[in-house]
Structure formats: C-alpha cells, structure tokens
Amino acid sequence: MTAATGHPREEALGYLDGVPVPRARLDRRLAEMRDGDRAAMLPAPDSPEGRQLARWLAQVILTEQLCAAEAEARGLPLNPRRVRLDQRAAVEYGSINAAAFHGSPAVRAVADAVTAGVSIADDELRRYWTATARPVPARWVLRHRLGDGPAGRLGPVGAADLPAALADALRGAAPGDTVTATDRLGRHEAYVLEVLPAREPDFERDRPALRPDLLAARRRRAFAHWLDRARAQRIRLVPGLEHPGDPHQPDNHHRH
C-alpha cells in the first residue's frame, strides 16, 4: 500500500492499448524535477499537492506515449526542435496537453497530422471579423524617458495607454519630433519614432492577418478533442494516479 493514497503501488503508471507504461518513467521524471532549478517551488512528495503533481505528470507522460505510438503507426517524421507555446495557446490546450506538446516531438508531429485538414471558410472568417472588428485609434512608437531614468522603446501605444499629459503633447507630433510633458509622475520626454494613423476596419485588409490566427486556434481545439477521444479509448489509468481533476480521487480540491 502507498501511504499517500491507500492504494497498492502498481509497477505501471497506466496502460496504453493494454500494455503497461512503466512507473519508473514517472519516478524518473519526478526525480529530475526535484533535482532541477525549481525544486524549491515543488510541493512535498507526500502532501496532497505532491500527489496531485504526480497525477498531473502521469497524464503528461501517458499523452506523450500515446502520441509516440500514433506517430510510429503513421510513420511520421519527428522534429526535435522545441516549440514554445504562447500564453493563449497554452491556455487553450490546458496544462497537460501544453506540457506534452512542449516536451515531445511525437506530440507535435501528431498534432500536425491529425489537424492537417482543418480549415477556415471565408464566411466564417467574415462572421468573426464582423463580430470583433473595431476602429483602431492613432498610435505612436516612442523612445520615452521619465525624469532622469533610462530611455526605452514604447509602443505602438494610443492615447488611452499613456499619461494624459503626454498624450496631449503628442497630438500633431510627427516622426523625429521630441515632446515633453510634466505630471505627477515627473517629466516625460518622448522622441517620436513612428506615427500610426487611425484606421477603420477593412475586411480585405484585415483578412490575411486574421486567418492564420483563427486557423491555429481551430487546429488546437481539434487536436485537444482528438487527444480526449484517443485517451478515453486507449488509456487506462491506475488507482493513485487518476486524472488530477477526477472528483472521485481523494486529493481533488475542486469540490462544490
């Protein structure tokens, strides 16, 4: 029995297509984390939070193993180059999928393969644009200094992003101008690097930049759904290493 969960400790951290995935992989990864630079931030192994960390990492490893098997079955080439997800993509994927995507070339290869046919139709793009397009106010790119502090690049920023006194001083300024303004923060000095004029929404102009962003978001959703289905069909969890969000496991803190 494990003191942490009351369940017998299995030698598998889970089963993929009926084949055990060795528990040693989880133990090794946990040991690497506890020997790493952020070890002091990790919860104690025998605490509820420590057991939740083990559950979370088990799901990451099982997701990586699932995609490794899928990539091998499909004959997919693996690119070892790491890809860093931005904050929006990481949130859309969720922490388990994001960690697996970041750490495993197989996960990234399967993501590309299973979402290759995802597309965005022009009418969908226009509907999204119609619902979200807004006028863009005039903006500036500045080299800004406050008092005797260092100068730094700032922008593009609009009047709403700046102290009111500085925004007023910038009205009518052209590239190459230097303006100053004083308020309760001190003396602002801004050298105008670029002026971006106000503009109204224009679908034909905005569409080329909008499509890749929406397509990437749709592909992420499609891959997350694929993973959910594949895990449900092919992975069996073991007692003590349930999904951290499972309401039936004893360390789940999200009870209502």
- Phi and psi based region of residue 177 (left: phi greater than 0; alpha: psi -120 to 50; beta: remaining): beta
How far apart are alpha carbons 93 and 153 in whole angstroms? 33
Beta-carbon contacts of residue 129 (< 8 Å; ≥ 6 apart): 201, 203, 206, 207, 210
Full-model pTM: 0.75
196 has a pLDDT exceeding 50: yes
With H, G, I as helix, E, B as strand and everything else as coil, classify residue 213.
helix
82 has a pLDDT exceeding 60: yes
Among residues 119, 89, 91, 113, the alpha carbon closest in space to that of 211 is found at 119
Tell how strand 186-196 and strand 235-237 pair up. unpaired
Query: Domain limits at 71?
Result: 12-117+215-237
> Does 21 lie in the same domain as 60?
yes
On whether the CB atoms of residues 106 and 53 are closer than 8 A, the answer is: no
The answer to whether residue 1 is domain-embedded is: no
> Does 180 lie in the same domain as 68?
no
> Does 229 lie in the same domain as 172?
no
The pLDDT-based confidence of 4 (bands split at 50, 70, 90) is very low
How many structural domains are present in the chain?
2
- Element housing 190 (H / E): strand 186-196
> Does 80 lie in the same domain as 30?
yes
> Does 32 lie in the same domain as 111?
yes
How far apart are alpha carbons 141 and 26 in whole angstroms? 49
How far apart are alpha carbons 84 and 116 in whole angstroms? 20
Q: What is the pLDDT of residue 206?
A: 85
Q: What is the pLDDT of residue 36?
A: 81
Beta-carbon contacts of residue 45 (< 8 Å; ≥ 6 apart): 4, 30, 34, 51, 54
With H, G, I as helix, E, B as strand and everything else as coil, classify residue 95.
helix
> Does 102 lie in the same domain as 166?
no
What is the Cα 8 distance to its own chain's centre?
35
56 has a pLDDT exceeding 60: yes
238 has a pLDDT exceeding 60: yes
What is the token pair recorded at 22?
């060795």
237 has a pLDDT exceeding 50: yes
200-215 pLDDT per residue, tens: 998 988 888 889 999 9
The answer to whether residue 128 is domain-embedded is: no
> Does 42 lie in the same domain as 97?
yes
Q: What is the pLDDT of residue 6?
A: 54
> Does 191 lie in the same domain as 145?
yes
How far apart are alpha carbons 66 and 89 in whole angstroms? 21
The answer to whether residue 180 is domain-embedded is: yes
Q: What is the pLDDT of residue 167?
A: 94
> Does 107 lie in the same domain as 20?
yes
CA distances to 29, 40, 42, 158, 237 from 37, in Å: 14, 8, 10, 40, 30
124-169 pLDDT per residue, tens: 999 999 998 899 899 999 999 999 999 999 989 999 999 999 999 9
The answer to whether residue 203 is domain-embedded is: no
> Does 110 lie in the same domain as 31?
yes
256 has a pLDDT exceeding 70: no
Q: Which residue has the higher pLDDT, 185 or 250?
A: 185
Q: Which residue has the higher pLDDT, 44 or 21?
A: 21
> Does 16 lie in the same domain as 106?
yes
Q: For 164-185, what is the mean pLDDT?
A: 94
Q: What is the pLDDT of residue 114?
A: 97
> Does 156 lie in the same domain as 48?
no
On whether the CB atoms of residues 151 and 145 are closer than 8 A, the answer is: yes
The pLDDT-based confidence of 194 (bands split at 50, 70, 90) is very high
Q: Which residue has the higher pLDDT, 115 or 43?
A: 115
Q: What is the pLDDT of residue 98?
A: 95
Beta-carbon contacts of residue 141 (< 8 Å; ≥ 6 apart): 153, 154, 155, 156, 157, 192, 193, 194, 195, 196
